[in-house]
Amino acid sequence: MKEGLTLRFVRYTLTIFLIISINFLIPRMMPGDPTIYLLGEDVYAIAPELVEELRRSYGLDKPLLEQYVIYLQRMFCGDFGYSFSFGRPVLEIIAERLPTTLLLTLPPTIVGSLIGLYLGTLCGWKAERTIKKILSTGMLVVYSVPPFWLGMLFLLFFSLKLNLFPSGGAPSGENIQNFVSHVFLPFITLTVFVASHNSLLMRGIVTGTSRGEFVLTALSKGLPYTMFLHRHLIKPSLPPFIVYAAMEFGFAFSGALLVEIVFSWPGLGLTMWEAVIARDYPLLQAIFVFSALTVVLANGVADLLCVITDPRLRRA
């Protein structure tokens, strides 16, 4: 057990180092120059000396290796640098946008995972029933629809046709109505999407689990349905679900780009996209590193949870 944990720790540390290094290289391999954003399209071409001056001021004229060493040194000191395109320190931007991101992604991830877990279990047990087949098909249809398109449909119907909700933006201020009206549509869009693929995943797992002999034994003991469901169907099906759900929690921190675009929601996904467009290396690197760390962390938590929920893994 102890050795296993140590091995995992080493593995994760190596993964993080690799991610940090790749994060440095990828933005710099993209064509385009970050100074374009600062100079504007009409000036960039006619003032090469300004381009050079700006590149110097942001340290972009240094050799790549030197830039990499500076990047590592700063990162280990917690300094993620200064965003060219926002004109502010990177950490300040992330700190500002993270709560908005989590407001968008975390509740749907939690609610969607729980709905998916429960609905998938119900559909997986005695899956041949017509109502369950209809439910599963419905979930498959929802899962096949891109979330941004689902968001556009919701906007069209609830915002334009019924005029119940605004057409975009995150809530601001303490007005409850303002809060609900801005959060509702993105919440429903993401929840429906997360629930659909979680339920399909859980349905598959439960269908397999329900063939186990212990299930027959549990049924033959005459256990009440609810107890049977929780103790003998959901519990043994949990480990693969936990791994998947944990990944989703990790990704929740990096935002939901397409849904953020549809609902003009200023989250980290959108920030990352804006950083790509502006070739804002420091911001891009910081968001990549942050997202990767949360996914790695979520994986680690998932490993631990699996060990806790599955005695066989503890013994292994």
CA-atom Rg of the chain in angstroms: 24
Q: How far is the CB of 298 from other proteins (least distance, A)?
A: 26
Q: Which is nearer to other proteins, 21 or 57 (CB)?
A: 57
Q: How far is the CB of 39 from other proteins (least distance, A)?
A: 5
Q: How far is the CB of 140 from other proteins (least distance, A)?
A: 18
Q: Does 293 bind other proteins (CB under 8 A)?
A: no
Q: Which is nearer to other proteins, 36 or 296 (CB)?
A: 36
Closest-CA residue to 20 (of 70, 65, 72):
72
Closest-CA residue to 57 (of 84, 25, 33):
84
* Strand-pair category, 88-89 with 82-83: antiparallel
Q: How far is the CB of 233 from other proteins (least distance, A)?
A: 12
3-state secondary structure of 73: helix
Q: Which is nearer to other proteins, 182 or 246 (CB)?
A: 182
Residues 185-224 that bind other proteins (CB under 8 A): none
Q: How far is the CB of 105 from other proteins (least distance, A)?
A: 15
Site of tokens 């109502």: 131
Q: How far is the CB of 304 from other proteins (least distance, A)?
A: 31
Q: Which is nearer to other proteins, 143 or 263 (CB)?
A: 263
Question: What's the token pair of residue 269?
Answer: 């996904």
Q: Which is nearer to other proteins, 23 or 85 (CB)?
A: 85
Q: Does 274 bind other proteins (CB under 8 A)?
A: yes
The 3-state DSSP composition of the chain as helix, strand, coil percent (nearest 5) reads: 80, 0, 20
Q: Are 100 and 266 in contact (CB under 8 A)?
A: yes
Closest-CA residue to 283 (of 23, 14, 55, 17):
23
Site of tokens 């629930």: 195
**Count of alpha carbons within 13 angstroms of residue 258, beta-carbon side:** 11
**Candidate list 252, 279, 291, 307; residue touching other proteins; CB under 8 A:** 279
Q: How far is the CB of 306 from other proteins (least distance, A)?
A: 27
Residues 37-96 that bind other proteins (CB under 8 A): 37-47, 50-51, 53-54, 82, 85-88, 96
Q: How far is the CB of 147 from other proteins (least distance, A)?
A: 14
d(CA 243, CA 302): 5
**Candidate list 14, 17, 32, 212; residue touching other proteins; CB under 8 A:** 32
Query: Interface with other proteins by CB under 8 A: which range of 192-200, 207-215, 238-246, 263-271?
Result: 263-271
Residues 88-147 that bind other proteins (CB under 8 A): 88, 96, 100, 118-119, 122, 131
Give the CA angle between residues 75, 76, 80 to the nearest 5°: 20
**Candidate list 22, 64, 134, 160; residue touching other proteins; CB under 8 A:** 160
**Candidate list 90, 109, 182, 306; residue touching other proteins; CB under 8 A:** 182
Q: What is the dihedral of CA 83, 89, 90, 92, to 10 degrees?
A: -140
Question: What's the token pair of residue 216?
Answer: 């027959």
